[in-house]
Structure formats: structure tokens, C-alpha cells
Amino acid sequence: MDETRKDLVQASIAPRSSKDRQRLRLALSAFAENDPSITWPSITWIEAETGNALLRAANEADLAIALDEIKRAYAIDADISPPKVVYRATIARVTEIDYTHKRQIGGTGEFARIKLTATANDIGRGFKFRSEIVGGAVPEAYIPAVEKGLRSVIGPGMIAGDPVVDISVILFDGAFHDIDSSPLIFETAARMAMRQVLDMGELVILEPVMRLDVVTPADYAELIAADLRARRGRIERLNLDEDSAIIHALAPLANLLGYGNQLNARSDGRASYSRRFDHYDRVPPEHPEPPFRPAAAMRLQRCKRRGPPHPH
């Protein structure tokens, strides 16, 4: 992935009054300059009607510190949601779209037609775009606008606040009009075509998987390992000696929120752990609690009505 940081958890902050909404906007526009020692979260979007903001960070501790600082420093009365995992979405099957944008506004017309094929990339490969236009079916000058329109749809926050990733798109044909076509009109057509891809491409959900190293007295090792397995974890290695054990495991982040407190309870406070991001993987279909409710397609429709996320 081409990210410089991985935001794996998120929380919403909902101001309780119009005055709090104004304070929150001020805080979010200025907070990063106030204290460089704090790892500030990224602002995914601010909902225009309510002033609610969705913030992301690399871990629960960074998110909690930043949210507390925002509330305290700016005297904001707000409700903060519990931290949740930032999932990702991609398409499951090859999808071919033939989309025509055509309308008449007074004496001015708009026309753009694009044909494209979208497939899922390998997990972690990001978004890829390639033009295979021959014979000038779409003018070369319009191709960058097509890519821009596609990218605008698969940005962060399009599905229930989570990004759409790992899609490869090939533009293979299209049509234009000498007078009624322009780069902006092709960008609009590409945006609508990409939304059709997400509607038709059978979205699948990806979740972050973490690598854990748990250090514990030997007496608690089996209990802790069994608990990790119950969290959909996989024990890769268990190093055991007379007095202590180190458990090396992989587990989905969704089942590790608040894990430190639970580990303390299971080990009488004698175990410790560290964790780091390892990879993304598909959420299994048998998962008892799907990440998105209602279905992702319904969330996509809501996102279309709301429009793209606003960074500030």
C-alpha cells in the first residue's frame, strides 16, 4: 500500500449544541498545530447537518488521547462513540460497465461515453488504472480526467465510512462529441461508471489483522492461547519454559479492542503484550457480526446521497 500511515481504528464525535459544533470545527482545523507530541487522528469527514465528525488513528490509545484533548482544550460538550475498526471494501468479481453521460442544458449539451472493465487487485495493491483506447475513441487529453473521476469515488469513506481499495480498472472504449465533450464531462461520466462498478461488483469486506506477542507466566499460557483462538486468532508459535511463555499469534483487530484489560483479568495482571499491523484479510462469510449493517450496498446508496467525505 502507498499509505504513509495506517489508520486502523475510528470514532465519531457528536457535538450536542450549535455552539459545540462551531467549537469542534475550530478544534479540528487547528488541533494539529497545538501539540506536536500527540499523534493526531485524521479527519475522515464532517457531516454538514449535524456537525458530527469521524476521526481515525493508528490505535485506540492515540485516538483516545486526541479526542480527550479536543474536548478538554476547546470545552466541547460532545458524545464520543466507542472505538471501531476501520474496514476496507473491494469488489469480488470482474465487472464491465458501458456508461453514457448525456444531457442538454439550454443550448449547451454534455456527452461522454466510457467502457471499462474493473477487477479486484491482490490485497494491498491499491487502485490501478490503465487506458487501452485505440483510434481516438476517447481523446488522449480526456484520459487523466477519467482516472480522476474513478479515484474520486473509491476514496476514503465511501462505504459506511470505510475506504474502497484494491481495484484495477481498464478503459477500453468510449465515444465523444466534438462540441459537447470536455475533460470535466468525462470526469463526471467516470464517477458515475465507478459507482455502478461498486453497485454490481459484489463488494467484499477486508479487515486488519494484527501480529501479537504475549509474554505471560507459564501457568496462564494455555488459558491465554485458548482465548486468542476464540477471538479468531491463530497461534503461530508458543515458546514455553519453566516459568514463562511467549505466545506469537495473528488475530483480527476487531476482536482485540480492549484486549489489554481482558488480558490483565485473565492473568491477574501478570501478562503483557505488544501488537502491530500485519496485513488485511477478507472477513469470513460465517462471521457472526458482519461489519456493515445494513448491507454494504445500502450504505453505498446513502453515501451517494450524502456525497463524498469532506476533509474539513
- pLDDT for position 292: 54
CATH code linked to domain 89-201: 3.30.230.10
Can you tell me which residue has the cell 450504505? 299
Rounded to a whole number, what is the distance in angstroms from the first to the last CA of the chain? 24
C-alpha cell read off for 195: 459507482
C-alpha cell read off for 90: 473491494
Average pLDDT over residues 86-93: 89
Whether the link from the prior residue into 294 is cis, omega within 30° of 0, is yes
Half-sphere exposure of 139 (CA within 13 A, CB side): 15
pLDDT digits (tens, 9 = 90+) for 219-268: 999 999 999 999 999 999 999 988 999 999 999 999 999 999 999 999 99
Q: What fold, for 206-282?
A: Alpha-Beta Plaits (3.30.70)
Answer whether 0.75 is exceeded by the pTM.
yes
Q: Judge whether 9-86 and 206-282 match in fold.
A: yes
Beta strands of 126-202 (E only): which ranges?
A: 128-131, 167-175
**Domain boundaries defined on the chain:** 9-86, 89-201, 206-282
CATH code linked to domain 9-86: 3.30.70.870
